[in-house]
């Protein structure tokens, strides 16, 4: 977690949004104190998959309606760097899959990032499963990222970077090569909002990106069609699509998962084709979100004060 985003989430916990609704559930597992990704199970009713931020083991956890962990699934032979996102997908043969994204890079120093694809277990029990690993790199150097999206119809992989300014949406090649065969080069296809912490595709081809405080809906890369503030959360990290509603989660002890309506109108009856780059690449500047602006400004002021204090101490030592 970058210093600025951490300070923005912790120094000013107060939010200008409306009062939060009742949570759908509260995550009880202490191992999920830093719950990051979120996905709705396609095989088990009332079950969500999530995972911890970072860590030395690649694993996902199934959480039921009471918030209790009912299964821990470990990916065999995977030594992750910083897992940050989780995305569901149904393969062409109907197999329900999960994609775990090892894309965190707080210091922007990784030459490549990784994503692991595995089949969703049909039984809810602790297990170790095989996974297919894919490596990616950016065309313009390293980026920190926390959002992975997998396009429903094509299985195309997208990554949204997490930056205060200059954030982008990147698209992977249509045919991925596994880790043993080489690296998949990403392509920047649109700008993205500042400080994106997760994203997800809708079944009709639209997709959503969330920040700490808001969610944005896109018809295709660069074409935003709706947005809305999210319930106040200690550190809003995750988002998943559940029918016509969105589920949003957060880090923190016994963190809440809220169900919120999808903003914007329903699209036309014809499903959208695969998203393509567009000339209308409207990036939401970070100052357009007033609450985020206040938090970031407070964080920057706080860091400046801390830096001044440390310099003064060094002068007197």
pLDDT digits (tens, 9 = 90+) for 1-40: 444 444 444 333 333 344 568 899 999 999 999 999 999 9
**Is 288's pLDDT higher than 90?**
no
pTM score = 0.81
Residue 317 binned pLDDT confidence (cut-offs 50, 70, 90)? very low
**Is 140's pLDDT higher than 70?**
yes
Mean pLDDT, the chain, as a whole number? 85
Per-residue pLDDT tens for 166-221?
999 999 999 999 999 999 999 999 999 999 999 999 999 999 999 999 999 999 99
Domains (range + CATH), the chain: 20-284 (2.120.10)
Supply the pLDDT for residue 268.
58
Supply the pLDDT for residue 57.
87
- CA–CA dist 38, 73 (Å, integer): 14
Distance from the Cα of residue 278 to its chain's centroid: 23
Query: Cα separations (Å) of 232 from 11, 51, 150, 168?
Result: 14, 21, 27, 25
Supply the pLDDT for residue 54.
77
**Is 304's pLDDT higher than 60?**
no
Supply the pLDDT for residue 236.
96
Average pLDDT estimate for 84-97? 97
Supply the pLDDT for residue 279.
35
Per-residue pLDDT tens for 66-76?
999 999 999 99
Residues contacting residue 93 through CB under 8 Å, at least 6 positions apart = none
Average pLDDT estimate for 227-242? 96
Average pLDDT estimate for 262-287? 51
Three-class secondary structure assignment of the chain: CCHHHHHHHHCCCCCCCCCCCCCCEECCCHHHCCEEEEEECCCCCCCEEEEECCCCCCEEEEECCCCCEEEEEEECCCCCCCCCEEEEEECCCCCEEEEEEECCCCCCCCCCEEEEEEECCCCCCCEEECCEEEEEECCCCCCCEEEEEECCCCCCEEEEECCCCCCEEEECCCCCCCHHHCEEECEEEEECCCCCCEEEECCCCCEEEECCCEEEEEEECCEEEEEEECCCCCCEEEEEEECCEEEEEECCCCCEEEEEECCCCCCCCCCCCCCCCCCCCCCCCHHHCHHHHHHHHHHHHHHHHHHHHHHHHHHCC
Supply the pLDDT for residue 267.
67
**Is 41's pLDDT higher than 70?**
yes
* % the chain with pLDDT above 70: 78
Query: Cα separations (Å) of 268 from 72, 173, 271?
Result: 40, 28, 7
Per-residue pLDDT tens for 95-134?
999 999 999 999 999 999 999 999 999 999 999 999 999 9
Supply the pLDDT for residue 271.
44
């Amino acid at each position: 977690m970058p210093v600025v985003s951490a300070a923005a989430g912790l120094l000013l916990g107060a939010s200008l949004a409306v009062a939060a609704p009742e949570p759908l559930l509260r995550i009880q597992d202490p191992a999920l104190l830093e719950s990051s990704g979120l996905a709705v199970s396609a095989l088990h009713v009332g079950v969500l998959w999530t995972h911890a931020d970072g860590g030395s083991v690649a694993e996902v956890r199934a959480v039921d309606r009471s918030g209790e962990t009912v299964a821990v699934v470990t990916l065999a032979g995977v030594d992750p760097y910083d897992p940050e996102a989780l995305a569901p997908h149904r393969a062409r043969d109907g197999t329900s899959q999960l994609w775990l994204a090892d894309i965190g890079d707080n210091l922007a120093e990784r030459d490549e990032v990784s994503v692991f694809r595995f089949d969703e277990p049909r039984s809810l029990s602790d297990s170790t499963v095989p996974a297919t690993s894919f490596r990616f790199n950016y065309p313009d150097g390293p980026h920190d990222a926390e959002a992975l999206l997998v396009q429903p119809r094509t299985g195309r992989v997208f990554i949204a970077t997490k930056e205060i300014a200059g954030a982008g949406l990147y698209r992977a090649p249509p045919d991925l090569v596994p880790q043993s065969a080489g690296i998949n080069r990403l392509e920047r296809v649109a700008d993205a909002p500042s400080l994106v912490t997760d994203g997800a595709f809708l079944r009709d081809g639209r997709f959503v990106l969330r920040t700490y405080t808001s969610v944005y809906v896109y018809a295709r890369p660069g074409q935003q069609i709706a947005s809305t503030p999210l319930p106040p959360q200690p550190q809003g990290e995750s988002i998943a699509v559940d029918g016509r509603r969105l589920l949003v989660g957060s880090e923190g002890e016994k963190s809440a998962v809220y169900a919120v309506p999808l903003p914007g109108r329903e699209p036309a009856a014809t499903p959208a084709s695969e998203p393509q780059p567009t000339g209308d690449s409207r990036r939401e500047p970070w100052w357009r979100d007033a609450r985020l602006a206040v938090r970031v400004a407070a964080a920057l002021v706080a860091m400046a004060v801390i830096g001044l204090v440390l310099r003064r101490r060094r002068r007197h030592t």
